[in-house]
Amino acid sequence: MEDLTQEEWAEQLATDDNAVILDVRTEAEVADGIIPNAIHIDFYLGEEFLDKVDELDKSKNYYVYCRSGNRSHKACLIMEELGFDNAYNLEGGMLNWTGDVVDMY
């Protein structure tokens, strides 16, 4: 698990052919927009969050974000415990994100 600044996260993601972007915010937060190509699994789902994350391909590199970076940091730690080798947390989350955002729906 690694915390990356906005710049590091965007640069690393841009050159990563094995990347998956994971949004762990709530439905209400996601309604405000999502980073393009992100998949959404709400961190607050508890056991369901664990089950859904555990089903993901552990050979991929996961770029994880939330609103401020706190939940995504915790999500990365959980992913590490579940056997994921590469989980990268976006420091500052969507509050500091300056990149593209699209409507999920």
Beta strand pairing status for 39-40 and 19-23? parallel
Give the Cα separation of 33 and 55 in Å (integer).
Answer: 25
| Region at 7 (left for phi over 0; alpha for psi -120 to 50; beta for the rest) | alpha
Q: What are the start-end ranges of the H helices in 1-105?
A: 6-14, 27-30, 47-54, 70-81, 93-96
Looking at 13, 35, 41, 66, which residue is catalytic? Answer: 66
Examine the residue annotation and report whether 66 is marked as an active-site residue of this protein: yes
Give the Cα separation of 66 and 55 in Å (integer).
Answer: 20
* Residue positions annotated with a catalytic role: 66
